[in-house]
Amino acid sequence: MKKVLLVLTVLVAGMATSFAQSSDYKAFKVDVGGLYAIPSGDGVKAGIGFYLEPKYNITNNIALGLKMEWAAMGAEEEEGMSVSVSTLGTYQLTGDYYFTDSKVRPFAGLGAGIYSMGTVEATAGESTFEADYGSKFGFAPRVGVLIGHFRLGLEYNVITGIDSELESRNYLSFKIGVEIGGGKK
């Protein structure tokens, strides 16, 4: 699956190169940073993670990219019940729209791709529940602001194909990072 996403990203970047390129901003940039993840499912505590997102500026206001993100969320114990959660990784094609061409650039965007999830184990008294979710499709709407090369963002990751709200692995992430490259020409 990773190879398919890589080939698709290369094709999109190749097509974008042949059609358009930002007139005022450098073509390539990479966003790197950390995140604080707040899961929506019951029994799971917040966690931390990091991301890497190479991008291509198609126009002054539109950038396409490939997001690679990893997060680890914690476990919780309550009155004879314990839940432990492993890591979660995602590989997504992304698009961002920047509303201004100034030094402070608010943006909105969307990512869609594959979420790879580790196992989840829950114990309640004598019974134990284990689930290995494998890979699921998901999407992530996001908003934020780019101030020079400093990036702040808010993103909600929706992982499809998990029916129970108790087992939900959707999460809200607060992101802080830097943009390497990009910037004005």
Question: Given a cut of 80, is residue 13 above it in pLDDT?
Answer: no
Q: What would the two tokens of residue 68 be?
A: 């690679």
Residue pLDDT, tens place only, 80-135: 666 666 678 999 999 999 999 899 999 999 999 999 987 666 677 777 766 666 88
Pairwise CA distance, residues 173 & 95, whole Å = 17
Residue pLDDT, tens place only, 15-29: 555 556 677 888 899
The DSSP result for 48-89, as a single string, is EEEEEEEEEESSSSEEEEEEEEEEEE--EEETTEEEEE-EEE
pTM score? 0.77
> Does CATH place domain 2-181 in 2.40.160.20?
yes
Of residues 21 and 176, the one with the higher pLDDT is 176
Q: Where are the domains of the chain?
A: 2-181
